[in-house]
Amino acid sequence: MSVVTSYARALAVREGRAQPVATVRHLHLAADPLVFIPLRLAGEAAAPLGAMVGSDPARPHLLVVPQPRNRDLRFAFMAELARIMLPYIEGRAAATETVPGKNERERYLDAPQVIVPGRGAVEFVRLLGRSTRFRSADGPYPVDPAVPVLGQWLTFLYERTEFAGSSALVPMTEALSLHWATGQSPMEDANLATLLAWICPPPGRTGQEAAAAAEDPVRWPPAGPDTDPGFDARVLRPAIDTYDASGLPEPVREALRGQLEPTWRLMWQAVELLRGLPEAASVGDRWAADRDRYTREVARVAEGGPPRGRRDQAGSAAARLWDMESARQSYDAQRAYDDPLVMAEHRATGKAFAGEVVHVDRERTILLPGGKKPVSRPLVTVHTADPVRLAPGKKVFSAHRRRQSGEVVELDGDLVVVQLNDQLAKGAGVPGVGDAVCFTELDLGGRIRPGFPAAEETPWTHGGPPAAYVPTDEDAKEDWS
Dist. CA 329–CA 443, nearest whole Å: 8
pLDDT tens digits along 415-466: 999 999 988 876 668 999 999 999 999 998 766 777 777 777 777 677 777 7
pTM above 0.85, yes or no: yes
Q: Which of 226, 217, 223, 18 is nearest to 115 (CA)?
A: 223
Cα(88)–Cα(113) distance, rounded to whole angstroms? Answer: 9
Sequence-distant (6+) residues with CB within 8 A of 198 are: 12, 17, 18, 180, 182, 183, 184, 207, 210, 211
Residues 134 and 242 in one domain: yes
pLDDT(320) > 60: yes
For residues 263-280, average pLDDT: 98
pLDDT band at 4 (very low <50, low <70, confident <90, very high): confident
Total domains, the chain: 2
User: Is the domain of 85 the same as that of 209?
Assistant: yes
- pLDDT above 90 for 18: yes
pLDDT digits 0-9 by tens, 169-200: 999 999 999 999 999 999 999 999 999 999 99
Residue 472 reports pLDDT greater than 70? no
Q: Are 280 and 24 in contact (CB under 8 A)?
A: yes
Does 463 reside within a domain? no
Cβ atoms of 375 and 381 closer than 8 Å: no
Within a domain: 326: no
Reduce the DSSP state of residue 138 to 3 states and report it. Answer: coil
pLDDT over threshold 60, residue 476: no
- The answer on 375 and 298 residing in a single domain is no
Tell me what the mean pLDDT of segment 299-311 comes to: 84
Q: Are residues 78 and 169 in the same domain?
A: yes
Same domain, residue pair 284 and 378: no
For residues 62-93, one letter each, b for 16 or more C-beta atoms within 10 angstroms of the residue's C-beta and e for the rest, the string is: bbbbbbbeeeebbbbbbbbbbebbeebbeebb
Tell me the residue range of the domain where 132 lies. Answer: 3-310
**Same-domain pairing of 183 and 276:** yes
pLDDT-derived band at 473, boundaries 50, 70, 90:
low
Question: What confidence tens digit (pLDDT) does each residue in 212-263 have?
Answer: 999 999 999 999 899 999 999 999 999 999 999 999 999 999 999 999 999 9
Mean pLDDT, to the nearest integer, of 61-78?
95
Q: Is the pLDDT of residue 335 over 70?
A: yes
Residue 426, Cβ neighbours under 10 Å: how many?
7
pLDDT in tens, 91-134: 999 999 999 988 899 999 999 999 999 999 999 999 999 999 98
Is 466 within a domain? no
Which residue, of 294, 310, 326, is where some domain finishes? 310
Q: Is 338 contained in some domain? A: no
Q: Do residue 362 and residue 300 come from a single domain?
A: no
Q: How far apart are CA 114 and CA 116, in angstroms?
A: 7
Residue 370 sits in the same domain as residue 240:
no
* 346-358: average pLDDT: 94
Quick one: pLDDT at residue 475? 61
214 and 362 belong to one structural domain: no
Same domain, 139 and 286: yes
